[in-house]
Structure formats: C-alpha cells, structure tokens
Amino acid sequence: MAFGFKRSTAGDDRLDSIEATIQRMLADDRVVFDLAMSILLEGVDWKSVRREIKATDQRVN
C-alpha cells in the first residue's frame, strides 16, 4: 500500500477510498501531462489529442 502508516481498523475503508481516489487522479494527471508533452516536444497535432485532454481534465476536476 502506498500509504503504509499504521491505521485503525475502523478507518481502513475510508482511507482506502481516499487512496484509490488519489491514485486515479495521479494516473489521469499523468495521461494529460504525457499528451501535453507530446504536443510540445514531439510535434503531435494538438487537435488530435484535445478531446482526450479535456475529458481527462474534467474527470479530475
């Protein structure tokens, strides 16, 4: 588990939910970052990835 600190049994479900949410957000942010960098550094046409960036950004926010 990424957050390996000792926790009580009562809060396990809540902390697991928080951890899962953070992991999803980080994964989504990584996708957006990679797409943006491909536009900047590799010359990928921004129009080809615009929808995916916008949809991922909206899901995170």
User: Chunked in runs of 10, what are the mean pLDDT values of the chain (61 residues)?
Assistant: 55 88 92 93 92 88 76
Backbone angles phi, psi at 16, to 5 degrees: -65, -40
pLDDT for 4 equals: 55
pLDDT for 7 equals: 54
User: Whose CA is closest to 53, among 41, 39, 42, 43?
Assistant: 39
pLDDT for 6 equals: 56
pLDDT for 3 equals: 54
pLDDT for 61 equals: 76
Tokens 């046409």 correspond to 45
